[in-house]
Structures are given as structure tokens and as C-alpha cells.
Amino acid sequence: MPEPILDDPATRFQEIDPPPRLLMGPGPVNAYPRVLRAMSAQLLGQFDPEMTTCMNETMALYRHVFQTRNRWTFLVDGTARAGIEAALVSLLEPGDPVVVPSAGRFGLLLQEIASRCGAEVTVVEGEWGGVIAPGAVEAAVARVRPRVVAAVYGDTSTTIAQPMAEIGRICARYGALLYVDATATLGGMDVPVDEWGADIVTAGLQKCLGGPSGSAPITLSERAAARIGSRRHVERGIASGADHPSGGRRIASNYFDLAMIMDYWSERRLNHHTEATTMLYGARECARLLVEEGLASRIARHRAAGIAMATGLRAMGLTLFGDQAHRMANIVGIEIPTGVDGERVRARLRTEFEIEIGSSFGPLAGRIWRIGTMGYNCRRDAVLVTLGALEAVLRTEGVRVPSGAAVDAAMGCFQ
């Protein structure tokens, strides 16, 4: 008999019992307790009328969240990146021209995914920490005449929000489809999909929507749906005699084939995959919480907490990173003071105060911290506790900061 891999798994691995950590980084954040409770509900069969009713309700709720009348508003099973990849692989064929305004890690991600689709990508590069001038985007669009412009609204790697309304107007002038990655902004900043003229917008639950990562809300305009429908090929094992290929080039991914996923969410309920029931429950409750609070109130709450956090950090004597006129409402970047070990500070916040803040990537690695005020953690107490803990750690690391000034300044904002 071969030796068992684990001699006594029952005692080696204990029940999962994570610490009560306050997640104040760029995401994920702590989930709303009501979302976690919804996710503990019993499973249903994927074609049970109760289940399909839940799917329809989720579509209706997310139309409100996205501020759209789009029929095709649903979920892609997977993290926020699943939504991004589903959008781009379903829109793009090899050789398609694409323009990507990029001023951070996630603009580079859109460039990479579009390149993997075989698209001809033109990047309009901007400085990390600033916005890309709409004129530079328009010049590229006028020159390239792209099928798609793919942009990030709110790149957490830099904490900066790009001027999406202006990019939408550029796309309308030149007939380009507009894809927007709103992962870090939906539910915390204004994302008026129809007003922007955006054709596909995707997001995730784990930031301003206050849920766990694992489900990607998505909305498609009729124009985007028609483009994707022109590439529709039903999987052979489920096709009926009436299901003829559309004639367009088949979408390269089966799992991320939005044409087939749309069939699954439509009245036809043509099977594509087994719906992630627990994530559906969570996504539905995330949207229900937002609708209950009111979209304007939710956005105002994120704005107020973000201002209080930024004000407190400044009162501590720290320097905020990037173009503050275009900073995201729900996340702030802080330049790490000279001589301070940024990772040691983060580790001490986590081990001594059970608070997590973020670092960054690429050219900003080791240069900035990122603190988020999102979803369930977009609260006065979370802001004040985080500021107080950061002050305490910095003081014991030898940084001269005025005692109590950060919390006092933030409290003044809230009052």
C-alpha cells in the first residue's frame, strides 16, 4: 500500500476560520453580511422556475445599477477579468483594429487581451497617475478607425479615473464600439452606461458592490449584441435543427462566448454551463442593497468617505499620489515617505491592527500605498480606525506625524 499523502487530514487541516480583518486596500473588500447570508441559501437546479426567476430579477436589478435600458444585462460566471475577456473575445476577430487608452496596469491588461484575440492594437499611452487627453484618443481613433475602443474607467493601480463621457462622444463620432472596464467604479462612482453611449461595460462584485469576487456583471447595447450575434455558433451537442451558424467567424472561446451565454440568459434557456448559483444569489443581493440604498446615496457615501480619508492622510503630513482632480472617489494613493519600508508598514497594520491596505504594481511598486473606501467598508468607523492605525504604525517607525490630526480632520469632514 502506498503511503497516504496526509497521515491524518482530519486533524492536520482545521475548519476555515479567517481573522476578522478589515480590508481597506484596492479590493477585495469585506462583503456585506446580507450578501454572505444570501450566499448560504440552498442550491436549485439551473432550470428550476425559481432559479430562472432569480436570473430574471438579477438582470432587472443590474439594469438599474448600470443605469441602462439594455436588454442584455446579466452575469458572466467568473471574476471581473472573466467579464473583460468575454467582452473582448466576443467582439474582436483577428486583424480587427482596436484603440486602448492606457495609463495603468489595467489598461495594459486590455491591450494584452485584445492582442491575444489577434486584434491590431493601437495604444494611446498616458502617464501613470494622470489622465489621457481626449484629443490624443480622438487622434488615434481618427487615424485607425477601430472596431472597438477599450478603456478602463477607474484604474485601481493608479487611483485615477479617465474622462469616459468624452471618450464615449469620440466613439460616437467615428462609429467605434466602446468597451468600458468599470470593475472598480460600478456601485461607487457614476457609471451612466446609456448616457456615455457605451456598448459593453463589465464589472466585478468585490469592490464598490460589496460582494466576493467570482461574478462579473455585464451589459451590452443592441449594437454590441448584433455584432456578437453575427458570430453566433451553437455548440453541436445542444444545437437543434433550427440552429444554423450565423456565417461570422466563431468566437474563439467556448466558455466566454457571449452569444451562447446570451442564449442561456434568454427565454430560450439554451444550456451553456451550470450557473454558479451561490454567486448568483450574492450578485443579486449586492444589486438589491444598492437599489435599496439608492444609487445617488451610494455614490454620495463613497464620495464622502473618500474625501474624509484623503483629508485625514493630508493632515497626517502624507502626500497623495496622482492628479487629484481626477482621483477615483473610492480609492486614494499615498506616496510612501522617504526612508520608510512600505511593506513593513503594511505587514504591521495587518498583524497588529488586522487592517489590510494595498501596495501597487509596475513603475509604482514600492512607491505608493493604496487605501480603498468601498462597498461595506465605505463607513466612517472604517475610515477613522484605518487612519488611527496608520498613524500609530508610522510614529513607531520613526515618521514624525501630528498626533491625532488625521482622525480629527476626517471626523470634521463627516460632521
Is residue 1 included in any domain, yes or no?
no
pTM recorded for the entire structure: 0.95
Is residue 72 included in any domain, yes or no?
yes
How far is the C-alpha of 182 from the C-alpha of 176, rounded, in Å? 19
Q: What is the pLDDT of residues 206-255, one digit of tens each?
A: 999 999 999 999 999 999 999 999 999 988 888 787 777 777 899 999 99
What does DSSP assign to residue 237?
A: T
* Mean of the per-residue pLDDT values of the chain: 95
Q: What is the pLDDT of residues 72-82, one digit of tens each?
A: 999 999 999 99
Q: What are phi and psi of 356, to 5 degrees?
A: -110, 130
Q: Does residue 324 sit in the same domain as residue 229?
A: no
Q: Does residue 76 sit in the same domain as residue 207?
A: yes
Domain-ending residue, one of 237, 266, 291: 291
Can you give the length of the chain in residues?
415
Which pLDDT value is given to residue 4? 60
How far is the C-alpha of 232 from the C-alpha of 257, rounded, in Å? 9
Q: Please report, for the domain that includes residue 51, its CATH number.
A: 3.40.640.10
Residue 12 neighbours by CB under 8 Å, 6+ apart: 6
- Do 28 and 206 meet the contact criterion of CB atoms below 8 Å apart? yes
How far is the C-alpha of 82 from the C-alpha of 78, rounded, in Å? 5
Per-residue pLDDT at 99 exceeds 70? yes
Q: Euclidean distance between the first and final Cα of the chain, in Å?
A: 70
Angle at 158 between CA 125 and CA 142, to 5 degrees: 25
pLDDT greater at residue 268 or residue 37: 37
Query: Which of 88, 58, 60, 63 shows the shortest CA–CA distance to 75?
Result: 58
pLDDT band at 86 (very low <50, low <70, confident <90, very high): very high
Which pLDDT value is given to residue 9? 64
Is residue 21 included in any domain, yes or no?
no
Q: Does residue 302 sit in the same domain as residue 164?
A: no
- Cβ neighbours, 10 Å, residue 133: 14
Helix, strand, coil fractions of the chain, as percent rounded to 5: 45, 15, 45
- Do 199 and 180 meet the contact criterion of CB atoms below 8 Å apart? no
Which pLDDT value is given to residue 1? 58
Q: Looking at 9-13, 63-67, 257-261, which range is the least confident one?
A: 9-13
Q: Cis bond leading into 18, ω under 30°?
A: no
Q: What is the pLDDT of residues 378-388, one digit of tens each?
A: 999 999 999 99
Counting residues of the chain whose pLDDT is more than 70, the rounded percentage is: 97
pLDDT band at 177 (very low <50, low <70, confident <90, very high): very high
C-alpha of 326 from chain center: 18
How far is the C-alpha of 373 from the C-alpha of 87, rounded, in Å? 28
pLDDT band at 271 (very low <50, low <70, confident <90, very high): confident
Number of independent structural domains in the chain? 2
Place of cell 496608520: 390
Domain-ending residue, one of 291, 321, 355: 291
Is residue 15 included in any domain, yes or no?
no
Per-residue pLDDT at 371 exceeds 80? yes
* Mean pLDDT on 106-130: 97
Per-residue pLDDT at 100 exceeds 80? yes
Q: Report residue 413 as a C-alpha cell.
A: 469632514
Q: What is the pLDDT of residues 308-362, one digit of tens each?
A: 999 999 999 999 999 999 999 999 999 999 999 999 999 999 999 999 999 998 9
| Four-CA torsion 275, 278, 281, 286, nearest 10 degrees | -110
Q: Does residue 139 sit in the same domain as residue 69?
A: yes
* Mean pLDDT on 279-297: 98
Q: Does residue 242 sit in the same domain as residue 359?
A: no
pLDDT greater at residue 11 or residue 308: 308
Is residue 46 included in any domain, yes or no?
yes
Q: Does residue 112 sit in the same domain as residue 231?
A: yes
Per-residue pLDDT at 12 exceeds 90? no
**Range of the structural domain that residue 265 is part of:** 33-291
Q: Does residue 279 sit in the same domain as residue 353?
A: no
Which pLDDT value is given to residue 6? 58
Is residue 8 included in any domain, yes or no?
no
Q: Does residue 180 sit in the same domain as residue 257?
A: yes
Q: Please report, for the domain that includes residue 332, its CATH number.
A: 3.90.1150.10
Q: Does residue 313 sit in the same domain as residue 355?
A: yes
Which pLDDT value is given to residue 242? 77
Domain-ending residue, one of 274, 291, 308: 291
Helix (H, G, I), strand (E, B) or coil at 376: helix
Q: Does residue 374 sit in the same domain as residue 229?
A: no
pLDDT band at 3 (very low <50, low <70, confident <90, very high): low
Is residue 212 included in any domain, yes or no?
yes
User: How many helices (H) and strands (E) are present in the chain, helices listed first?
Assistant: 15, 11
Query: Which of 156, 172, 211, 224 shows the shortest CA–CA distance to 368?
Result: 156
Q: Does residue 138 sit in the same domain as residue 57?
A: yes
CA torsion sign, 3 to 8 to 10 to 13? negative
Q: Does residue 310 sit in the same domain as residue 241?
A: no
Is residue 61 included in any domain, yes or no?
yes
